[in-house]
Structure formats: C-alpha cells, structure tokens
C-alpha cells in the first residue's frame, strides 16, 4: 500500500479544511530537511562525545598532577 503524502490547507475565512497531495518538490524538500536533521544530530553527538573525552582527559591529568584519583578530583569539583 502506498500512502500519498498530503498537506492540510485551512481557509480561515470559511473554516473549510482541504487535504492536498504534496508536489514532488515538496516531497524532495521534506527529504532534504530530514537528511539535514540527521546530519546535525550526528554532528551534535560527535561534539558531545568529544567534549566528554576532553573532560575525562583533563580530569585524569589534574588527578595525576595532584596525586589524587579521578573520583577524588570529581568529588572536589562537585
């Protein structure tokens, strides 16, 4: 079964609601927006992981320099 993508158009002066099939251009735009969103989500996840990795490295270096464990440094910063 193939679903036809539609948009809802409401005439505010009459309150009449009409469903209209999306054009090929509108479908392509939706697909492009979905792809861009997925790329942004992946970039955000990569950036978040990089920040977490950097924090871990800094905590480890600080702990080593102070002669403490990472947990002791984390507890002291909390």
pLDDT in tens, 12-57: 999 999 999 999 999 999 999 999 999 999 999 999 999 999 999 9
Identify which has the larger pLDDT, 71 or 1: 71
- How far apart CA 53 and CA 61 sit, in angstroms, is 12
Provide the strand spans (E) within 1-78. 6-11, 16-21
CA 32 distance to own-chain centroid:
15
The number of beta carbons lying within 10 Å of the beta carbon of residue 73 is: 19
Of the CA atoms within 13 Å of residue 48, those in its CB half-sphere come to 6
């Amino acid at each position: 079964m193939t679903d036809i993508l539609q948009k809802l158009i409401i005439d505010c002066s009459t309150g009449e609601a009409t469903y209209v099939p999306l054009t090929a251009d509108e479908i392509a735009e939706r697909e492009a927006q979905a792809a861009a969103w997925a790329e942004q989500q992946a970039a955000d996840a990569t950036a978040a992981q990089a920040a977490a990795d950097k924090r871990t490295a800094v905590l480890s270096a600080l702990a080593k320099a102070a002669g403490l464990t990472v947990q002791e440094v984390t507890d002291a910063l909390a």
